Each structure stands twice: as structure tokens, then as C-alpha cells.
Amino acid sequence: MAERVAIILAAGMSTRMNTKMAKVLHEVCGRPMLAYVLDACRSIGVKRIYVIVGYGAEQVKEQFSANDVEWVLQEEQKGTAHAVLCCKEKLKDFNGDTLVLCGDGPLIRTETLNILIEKHESEHSATTLATAVLDDPIGYGRIVRDQYGNIQGIVEHGDCTKEQLAIKEVNPSYYLFNNKIMFDALEQVKPNNVKGEYYITDALAIILAAGHKVVAVTAVRPEEAIGINSRRQLSEAGKIMQHRIQQQFMDNGVTIIDPDNTWIDACVKIGQDTVIEPFTYIQGDVKIGKNCRIGPFVYIKPPSVIEDGAAVEASISRK
């Protein structure tokens, strides 16, 4: 099994979000988007993570302090291929596999990365990517395959022909590369596209043309494919993440009476047999013990610690 490192693309500004904050710092259920991607890399055993920063670089670095993260500055945002090339000097002697992900994809799952890795290893491929099939693929790069199902390349949405726009299999940017083959290909990428940027997707055609094996596995759930480029998408991602959080609590023995009218942040800890009543909002680093009853109409904020067996009710004044 090859050693793996990860490169996370987190340099973007996102004009559509109309923000002065670095995009990857916007929160989903109380945590910055980037935190979820870092955790996903760690969950599959990645020991070295290179995060590409650009706009708001100092903001991003201030939020995270970890021994396994190394920051790499992309001074000019010239596209995804250019961003990864910023790591070339640091990885020039690395002989393993490099995982490339986007920092604005907080809905990433460990299970998907494991499928990607298993496919890469079983196929002995130079590059493997995980794809998704979407009913509405607008905005995503399309996966182009031949009549036998072999991947021929990726075409960005703005560069698609009418026929390619009808393709529903898309690229949500989950890549696993042989490190040396990846950098050899990236150096040959040209900005031959509408935006004049250097796309990492163009490296796939170069790798194929060199006679290397490229494999695409449809492993990404539609909800995971969501990248955050607007406040609306941020809100949508929050709802999906909230559902996951509550499902996990319920699987672990917590009763949530009305999930649609309850909000629990990702950092919250709740013990077994606790009941969460409707219209309860639990924010941030809060710890709730076992056999508690919380709500209804309760707001709990950090650094609250609720002991086992406690009841927290709304304070209602009566005349």
C-alpha cells in the first residue's frame, strides 16, 4: 500500500458569497467548512496535509493549528492546476499517492474516500477520481466516457458542447494521483478554456495520452457533491449536515422529538437516553450528560456543561 498525502484547495475568494471572509471559514453547523475536509483526510490515515491558501490566508491559518497541516501560499489564483503546482517543491521527492480535494466540500464522507482508495489500489491506476450522478448537473464538469465506459476526460461546464451538457455524471473534485505522474502532467497543462485558467481536470487527458491508466468510480452521493459557492448552497449544506448530526445522535441513543425544529451544532456532545424537546438550539462546544431532558424552547450556548439527569427548561415569566 502506497503512502498517501493530501492537498486541499482552499485559496478561493468566492465573489458570489459576497464576503470578506475566506470562503472555507464559513461555518456549517458551527464548524468551518475546511474542518470537515481535514477530518476526512485524517480518518483515512493521511499524516501530511498541504492546504493551499490565498485570499484571507492569515485568517485561515489563525483558525487552525495542527502538526499535520502545512500551509502553501498561492499568491495568484490561476486555477486548480496552478494551485496544486504550488506544492511541487515540497513533494518533489515523494513517491506515493496524492489525494486532492476542495476545502469548500464539507459534506465529504470517509466512506467515499475509502471507495476511492480501494479502486485506485485494485486497478493499479495512475489516477482515480470519484464521480457523482446528478439530476441537475449545471455548473459541474462532465465526465466523458467512451462506448466501453472508459473515462476519456472531464469537460468544465462552461466549455461543454450541447451534447456534453446532457451528461449527468459529474466531477465533484475527488482525486487520487500517483504523485510523480501528477506533477509531470500538471506542468503541461495550458489555459485553453473560457476562463483562461489552469485546470487540474486537463491533467487527466495528458495522463491518458502518456499511456497511463485513469479510472473513475461513481461513489459520491449527490449530497456530497455540493461545493459551497453561494449563501444558498451554504444553507443547503447546513441542513444536510444537521440531518447527519441528528441521525448520529439518535443512533447513539438520544431521543430527538422533532428533528425539523431542533438544531444541534457539530461540536456538541450528548449522552445516552437524553431527550431533546422541540425548538431547542444547542450551539458550539456544549456537553450534555446522560438521562437529561432539554427543552422545549431552550437555547444552550458554550461552554455549558449539563450534568447527568438534569432538566433544562425555558424560563417563562407569567404575570
- Active-site positions? 16
Q: Are 179 and 95 in contact (CB under 8 A)?
A: yes
Could you tell me where the beta strands, DSSP code E, fall in 103-168? 127-133, 141-145, 151-155
Phi, psi of 287 (to 5 degrees): -120, 125
Stretch (H or E) spanning 236: helix 231-251
Q: Are 258 and 146 in contact (CB under 8 A)?
A: no
Stretch (H or E) spanning 114: helix 110-123
C-alpha cell read off for 262 = 431542533
Environment class of residue 83 by beta-carbon count within 10 Å: exposed (0-12), middle (13-18) or buried (19+)? buried
First and final C-alpha spacing in the chain: 71
Q: Are 294 and 278 in contact (CB under 8 A)?
A: no
Q: Is 210 helix (H, G, I), strand (E, B) or coil?
A: coil
C-alpha cell read off for 187 = 506542468
How far lies 5's CA from each of 27, 157, 206, in Å?
Answer: 25, 29, 22
